[in-house]
Structure 1
Amino acid sequence: MSNRWLSKGAALALAAAMWMGWLCAPAFAAPAPVKVTFVQEWRVADGFWIPWTLGISKGFYRDEGIDLNVVAPPTVADTMKFLGTSRADVAFTTVMDIIFAKEQGAPVISIGRYGTGNNWGIFTPEGQPVTLAQLKGKRIGIYNDAWTKAQLSLMLKSAGMTLDDIQMVAAADDTVPLLLQKRVDATTGITNAEGTEIAVAGKQTPEFMPATRHGVPDTPIFMFAGNQRWLEKNPQLAKAFMRATARSLRYAIEHPDEATAAFAAKYSKSYDENFVKRQWRDTMQVLGAPGDEQLKQNDKAWRDVLDAATSLGMVKSILPVEEYYTNAYLAQGQ
């Protein structure tokens, strides 16, 4: 046999051995996803969590290299404590909680909005619309927090009244039973929480007076926020979190039945199916259309709410608006 064929045979044998070795060799392991702790605004699950609950089940966060750890705070006051002390990396919180935390020097900043405007206002029973003037002397259900009283104060001011002109009835957890049991004449809340509950539990479509038509800033209530130290150390991870969240929002809006099913599967003991479906439908009305502008914040919305907070004495002083929010972690175009 010629050396030529010997060489060819040896080469083929070597190639075969290498191929078999490649087949038998262990595959390179993909990098393990990085844990990101995401603290929520409320101590129990609610329909606002539907996008990231769905996103986790669909693998959207894993696709970005994130193992998302959703944490419910012991109390609503703990959300910003967790974020400010690095017990959480990111948070789902409220605009006022961010403002109050910044006043205390906490290293937190808003990195995206959840909703395009303010959907807070006053509810009355179906078929019983009222004007602000007609609320004089009436009983109004409220939550005993500063921002509820501030918004109500601004609304009444637009009609030449003050909080002293009404009877405030505070509820510890839920104002809706006060209205349904006729213990108050009207109640405060948002369309995708109290409004949803009145519709489902009360089997009625309540009358709604939007606060934004009566002197209250049209600033989104809910925000995504980040610990600034974590953001500075992990800018790419923060962008990945926001990409996955934007993807989750889009998918949840485009596939509402699948979205609510994912939430029900995870938190079936929290709410009944009818409530979850209605709440997500109501929430979609607030979120706006998926796209470049959905999560993007702007100076005006923040200046308006900061001006309102200072005019009512809720904060002693304010920082430059860029200290409260950034769009730096949104996808290009947002």
Structure 2
Amino acid sequence: QAKKGPVKLTLPYIALAQNDNDTVIASKVSARVLSVKKAGERVKKGEVLVQLDDSSLKANLQAIENSIEGAKEELIATEATLKNLEAIHQRTAALLKVSGASREQYQNEEVKIAVTRAKLAGVKAKILKLQAEKTSIEDSLSYTTIKAPIDGLVSKSLVSPGDLAMPGKPLIKLAATEGTYLLVRLPGSAKAIDFAGKEYALTPLHSTFNGLNEFRADIDRYIPTGNREEVSVVVYKGEGVLLPMDTLLNRDGKSYLFLFSGKEKVKPVPVTLKASGQEGVLVDDRFAGKEIVKAKPDILLRLMGGYPVIREPIRDERGER
């Protein structure tokens, strides 16, 4: 006997596990690898993944710092020289007015001042260049300790201790343990899937692959990227009359149900399916309360030809007739 009630219909599909947070860590400097996390290790955000040899960079940094200190000392000395030359030149200018100094002396001092000012400008430029080099080395040093940008799992180590890391060379692949979603490709549309005993909403990606619409279902568990997972796409959810597939006969492009019309008689009735899934078929509410034959297709085909049927007594929920 058909009954109206809550109905959920699903169809089986294969989904692809994806995670946009997965990342490939590459080197930004040229250095030897001292240590690297092994494949399969779990890491926390901020944990060291790869340690590169920084001894050469530190030596270069020390040399640059020494050069900066030397240049600063040269700057102080040049500024003092310039100040002294300008003071002497000021006195020479005063003496020149009273014929106490020659024009040649005055001009020679001007040349010395110009040369010293040029030297001072050169020392300042040298210091700026050295400071820029220092900043560059400090930046490079910061890249010798490579830390995890996310919580994750080392899916693959691409180098070993002793290998030479080069700028742009991948060192390690890190799989995120959060943010996994299932990519589902469907010929039509759907709002949810059932997976691992739970229902997850589908979000349309507004993209297609080989003519199929793409959707994502954000899930609350870690699955390695690329894994194929069996899911059930929810094609209908609501109230209705759900019947088993064994109540339906498809013939000449039409579907039929067989309703009891007497003790040993059944009547084939054309039916339009509202939806179908693994659980059965959804039919019009007018079939609620009707007694419908459930049998294999070959038996239903015989009933279509007028064969009589023996009806089993309907049992209640306690199994009593």
TM-score range, shorter chain: under 0.3
- Give 1 or 2 for the bigger CA radius of gyration: 2
Give the TM-score, by structure 1 length: 0.22
Give the TM-score, by structure 2 length: 0.23
Which has the larger share of strand? 2
The structure with higher relative contact order (CA 8 Å, sep 6+) is: 2
